[in-house]
Structure 1
Amino acid sequence: DIILDFFLSSKRHMSVEELYRKLRARHPSIGYATVCRTLKLFAQSGIAHDMRFGDGQTRYEYLVEGEHHDHLVCTGCGAIAEFENKTIEDLQKAVAESHGFIIHSHKLELYGLCAKCRK
């Protein structure tokens, strides 16, 4: 499938609009509604995760089983960087346990300005 191949190779958090524009450049006959429905289907089937970072757009990222990362979101340009930090993960688990809580899942999004926007 063209959409799946392109989505998996993108390595980015893609909105429907971004993916549609990129696909349309190579495959002019592809429709916006097809891309939208397909990304929603990917999210429903566990291939992708839909995310909202406060800018009104839903973005999708490919899910790899057993892999977890958090996000840095630039409020200036909208850039999204992924990061992993064992200390943060361990602290979250300890805080949850101290409250008698078991974590099934979580997401951490840090908002601020990237190095380019601070200049």
Structure 2
Amino acid sequence: MTNVGERGIAVDTNNEMSKIQNCMHNAGFKLTPQRQAIVKVLLDHHQEHLSAEEIYIELLRASFSFGLATVYRTLDILTDLNLLTKISFEDGVARYDLRTEDPNHFHHHLVCTQCGKTIEIHEDLLNDVEKLVFRKYHFKVSDHRLTFLGLCKDCQNEQLMGDEGHQRNS
């Protein structure tokens, strides 16, 4: 089954579930039905950066009845295994991002400071910077995170329309 997110990035749900199960097994963990349900929510919402509470609400909607503590424990395990990344944007809420791409590099984000919209950038923009860091500082980068803060297209247009209306009224 392939799940296509709002920006058209396809994720093969069955393949990702198998990879996660193998990784957990190799680390000595089982993919219990509860953990599988949590991973399925993450896969189904792979571009939404859900919080633990939002994941829990999705599980309740799907008629699962286990505690929020189980969600947190599973998220901690997946994060420790580098299958999931815990991120925090402007709202200060811990959110989770499933690592479905190259495990050596995390994708980047554009975050609108006005409406909170988050857009993922899947291109690795920092390869040249990593090489420079290695040459100059003899530091081998294993991963990086980059978040650009600013105004999304919709908020820019809204701001522009507000400015034009203000100028006409002056």
2:107 to 42, 45, 69: 69
- Counterparts of 1:1-119 in structure 2 under 5 Å? 1-12=36-47, 13-27=49-63, 29-64=65-100, 65-66=103-104, 68-86=106-124, 88-96=125-133, 97-118=135-156, 119=158
Greater RCO, 1 or 2 (C-alpha within 8 Å, sep 6+):
1
Distance 1:79 1:68, change over 3 A: same
Structure 1 unmatched ranges of 5 or more: none
Distance 1:28 1:80, change over 3 A: same
**Residue 43 of structure 1: CA displacement?**
0.7
Structure 2 unmatched ranges of 5 or more: 1-35, 159-170
C-alpha RMSD over aligned residues: 2.1
Aligned AA for 1:8? L
**Count of paired positions:** 118
TM-score, scaled to structure 1:
0.82
Aligned AA for 2:88? R
The structure whose Rg is larger is 2
C-alpha distance after superposition, 1:22-60 (max 9, x if no partner): 111112523222222221221112221111123221111
TM-score, scaled to structure 2:
0.60
Distance 1:70 1:91, change over 3 A: same
